[in-house]
């Protein structure tokens, strides 16, 4: 990744952190940005509020939180799309948000008609927890 790409990714991460904080009232713990030729994938780590973290402990609650974040993103992401256009110089053709209830991560994918597959990997601590099972 070039220095310019790194600066663009950092600027997008800041915009997404601000967007997430403003739209939910909860600041994420981290934001990761990965850019491809026609794809931008943003992972918002630690994005769920304490109330949402409690809700996702049940299947019905997890579904409710997932749907809430999908709808929130669908109805309020236009300013985020405009900022991405300003930063990258490219229009957003498609956008989707998905919540991973187990980790509290929210993934925003902005594509140009390409299929995007996202794999959230375990952290070192998660890997240690899995070996104990």
User: Model confidence over 31-66: pLDDT tens digits?
Assistant: 999 988 888 999 999 999 999 999 999 999 999 999
pLDDT of residue 109: 81
CA distance 4 to 65: 36
The C-alpha torsion from 20 through 103 and 48 to 53, rounded to 10°, is 180
pLDDT of residue 132: 41
In this structure, the number of other CB atoms found within 10 A of the CB of residue 105 comes to 21
> Of the ranges 48-52, 58-62, 68-72, 112-116, which one carries the lowest mean pLDDT score?
112-116
Mean pLDDT of the chain: 84
**46 dihedral zone (left: phi>0; alpha: psi -120 to 50; beta):** left
> For the whole model, what pTM was predicted?
0.81
Ordered structural domains, the chain, with CATH = 3-131 (3.30.980)
Q: Give residue 82's Cα distance to chain centre.
A: 17
> Does 82 have pLDDT greater than 60?
yes
Instruction: Give the CA distances from residue 127 to residues 29, 63, 74, 131, in Å, rounded to whole numbers and listed in that order.
Output: 20, 26, 34, 6
Q: pLDDT band at residue 97, thresholds of 50, 70 and 90?
A: confident
């Amino acid at each position: 990744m070039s220095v310019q790409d790194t600066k663009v990714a950092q600027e997008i991460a800041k915009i997404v952190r601000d967007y997430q904080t403003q739209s939910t009232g909860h600041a994420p713990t981290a934001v990761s940005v990965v850019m491809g030729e026609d794809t931008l994938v943003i992972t918002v780590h630690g994005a769920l509020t304490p109330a949402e973290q409690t809700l996702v402990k049940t299947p019905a609650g997890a579904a409710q939180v997932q749907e809430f974040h999908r709808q929130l993103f669908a109805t309020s992401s236009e300013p985020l799309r405009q900022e991405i256009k300003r930063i990258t110089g490219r229009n957003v053709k498609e956008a989707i948000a998905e919540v991973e209830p187990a980790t509290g991560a929210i993934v925003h994918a902005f594509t140009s008609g390409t299929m995007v597959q996202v794999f959230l990997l375990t952290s070192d601590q998660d890997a240690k927890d899995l070996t104990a099972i």
